[in-house]
Structure 1
């Protein structure tokens, strides 16, 4: 695709394929298929419907459902108006939904039928939402979204739209205990697609399996690759074995998934391993890959190109990658625990977290990145943006790592105490806030511990007043947090270890679980 000019607007490549290969497959989803011309028409109609709803440049719409092409359509339609699509995690609990939707300021909410009851329960608390549109997985009778498209007048890009307009707001857990909206512009997403695409691509006849949740930057950004190159995207609603197998049987042969999926496939047996051998490329990231699992996968699929990626929502996803040749380089096995090398147009600075001074090669420090992929800022949080982005454009990640003499990045710890479980970011302070609200809890610390399936699992260590069981605390969390944020184990102790100044020593709590373990951080 190198003969095509680099796009300026998010929809440039999609419009190109709609004009040059109008009848080619663009999207396959469940039992439905749309050509490039059909998909472009749907997006134009959605842009018209949003215009009729009063959505203008600088506004936001929101999407809440499991994976559905309508989410991608919402992003492109909003972008054509200079508006943003706030993609909401469908696993959030009621209070969390309330907060995110109100913070986004979305005027229009598109919600999946099975999640509609959760919205109905909090509808009176959604102060900005003027219109709620229900969408079904299969376009069944009564699908309000399909009816909306059918009755809308198609519209093109607004004359006042610029590449620097925010087109996606991705919510991630915040260190203050509340999610933060990461504002990504059209220019950000395009830069990510071009840069993170370096070193691999699609061949004629390829199909791209898109299975990462769209509320995750891994799903929202990865879907852009197929669109950029004009190859069909096979979108799965779930990330279960049956859905992934169905996508592969439909011809999908390149994908991006979290390491936990690899573990599940290997556990399932030889038939599943053989089926997944059809994948030319398996890109993985978003959570730690344990070395034994990685070595097992490399042996099971000798003809598959493995690509590991490290990144953050604030840089649209990928900022470094470990390429296929590094995975099978017997001369440098130590690189399997690295996060690879920087993608193009990215700068790295390893800095002293206290002084900001640059650290020499081989020394640990906080990882700072500068890239055109860097977010516009945190939605409604200028102070948080200023804390994370320096005046000269460096993003302070809160991750601790080092770089070796050959330019390989090793991510070794996290200043922010973030736990990555199955590709989901869980901030310990968010879980601690909920546990601390229990009247019997005196003090609490939440840490990540190794988990063979999910990479890391959430663990809480609490001191309590009186008699309180692990089951009672677990239920307390489940009523107030999304299930994936809830501790998988809770230790009740007499007191937590502290340093002389009274700070809880999380390092000491983690030590018995992580000591002696090799871990590839991704």
Structure 2
């Protein structure tokens, strides 16, 4: 039976529950649900929320590590026209309080480990009317009791595809996070448009390990539901959890590049486990060229795919497909491995001068603008902030600097706010970082601009050295000068044990600047 074209995020779940009710849908730890069981749970969430007074336009929230209850809450809220705000569980107490008050959540589902943190700020959450505790194993918790007592309902007839169904908060790398409002239409468009390279086949299992508070988790979990193949959800993306899921049959994965580095360094056993994968999609941060080459050599049979995108466009905007990875050097275009690929279907990309706002010639750098049905409706409660990044013509201003070559390949050069200007020259930190990554003693690196009396700014490199290998500041600077114009090279190098990262693996250059200042 041909699956119908979806309009709402739960449409395909309902379809598979109808045509394959006893088939495996989702596994989490020791628990597995069939399509019919998981669909019933989603409908019970919808009924339970309605009984608690939640309706169209309202917001509920989830605070915990990865858990199927988060997916159920998102889909169930969507059935009645409400939205789920998924909160970063690693935030400090006052940050969690800010987020919950910002979204105005009426119902809050919280993991057992985080209950004490919520209790500490309970008096500061005037909108929250009900808190439901959820445990990892689902035994005797308030959430399961509430679910069992709820009456399942179908979609509210007043719900529209343009209703917000999920609120994800921006990473906050430049200040207080903002709630990104994403609709049913956004998610359906994303799932359909970015499907190339993720074509699941009978017998496949999708591994959902990215945090669900990140668009890479909440968007990716919909792929298995869309294609009707089982998903395995891990609580965290640690080595043991990933290996266990792979041994359970998971063979499709999306994670940050750093995972591959850890696997390669772990030795033959880890490499052998990962060889069972059919595909590994990476994104959320750049893949250093030495690591990409090592991964392609280590696992020549695995399909590698890079994706570039943002929360504000519901996830993927461009992709570098598996065949494009393999053919880059054979076709005489090794530089394409440094690109973010080409626009996915339905996504328009243009490069715009940051001052004149005119489109620049092919190959010239500028700000990356995106237009698609995937573009968010806006930042929750912040119309003025929304107007700064979404034009009247529907273009989303990404804040990323990049360029497009004659064949449509997009190269992301830098964050607009991270660009270094030294003596009037623009320096894109990824260009310097790519050279640094080639140094035999460099494991990880990051580049920022620091004040300089003569040049305005100069380049400072932060470097994590490989175990048992040494390098001095002079070594690193000289290595860069052999391959880059001198004005682009670091004038200082700081060696660290580890680079500061947010929970999704992005390097926090804000923290590096703060440490300098």
TM-score range, shorter chain: 0.7 to 0.9
Deviation string, structure 1 residues 8-66 (Cα, Å, up to 9, x no partner): 11111000001100000000100000000000011111111111111110000000000
TM-score for the superposition, normalised by structure 2: 0.83
Deviation per CA, 1:343-388: give whole Å up to 9, x if none: 0001111000111100010100100010110001001110010000
* TM-score, scaled to structure 1: 0.83
Aligned residues of 1:287 and 1:455 also touching (Cα < 8 A): no
Taking the aligned partners of 2:235 and 2:382, their CA distance within structure 1 comes to 32
CA contact (8 A) 1:260 1:454 kept: no
The superposition leaves residues 44-99 of structure 1 with CA deviations (integer Å, 9 ceiling, x where unpaired) of 11111111111110000000000001100010001001111000001101111111
Corresponding position of 1:154: 152
Q: CA 1:56–1:456 in 2, change beyond 3 Å: closer, same or farther?
A: farther
SS of the residue corresponding to residue 253 of structure 2 reads strand
Q: How many residues of Structure 1 are paired with residues of Structure 2 in the alignment?
A: 453
State the match for 1:375 in structure 2: 376
Q: Which residue of 2 aligns with 1:413?
A: 414
Alignment RMSD: 2.5
- Give distance in 2, aligned partners of 1:269 and 1:175: 34
Q: Does 1:289 align with 2:244?
A: no
Is 2:136 the counterpart of 1:181? no
CA contact (8 A) 1:288 1:456 kept: no
Matches within 5 A, 1:88-487: 88-141=87-140, 143-174=141-172, 177-329=175-327, 330=329, 331-417=332-418
- Gaps in structure 1 of 5+ consecutive residues: 419-446, 462-495
Q: Post-superposition shift, 1:499?
A: 7.3
Q: Check the 8 A contact 2:189/2:373 in 1, yes or no.
A: yes
Match of 2:83 in 1: 84
Distance 1:192 1:92, change over 3 A: same
Q: Which secondary structure state, in structure 2, belongs to the residue aligned with residue 10 of structure 1?
A: coil
Partner residue of 1:49?
Answer: 48
Tell me which of the two structures has the higher relative contact order, counting C-alpha pairs closer than 8 angstroms and 6 or more residues apart. Answer: 1
Q: How far apart are 1:177 and its partner, in Å? A: 1.6
Structure 1 residues 403, 157: closer, same or farther in 2, change over 3 A? Answer: same
Query: Contact 2:63–2:109 (CA<8 Å) still a contact in 1?
Result: yes
* Contact 2:418–2:448 under 8 Å retained in 1: no
User: Which residues of structure 2 form unaligned runs of 5+?
Assistant: 420-428, 463-472, 485-505, 508-517
Superposed displacement of residue 456, structure 1: 5.7
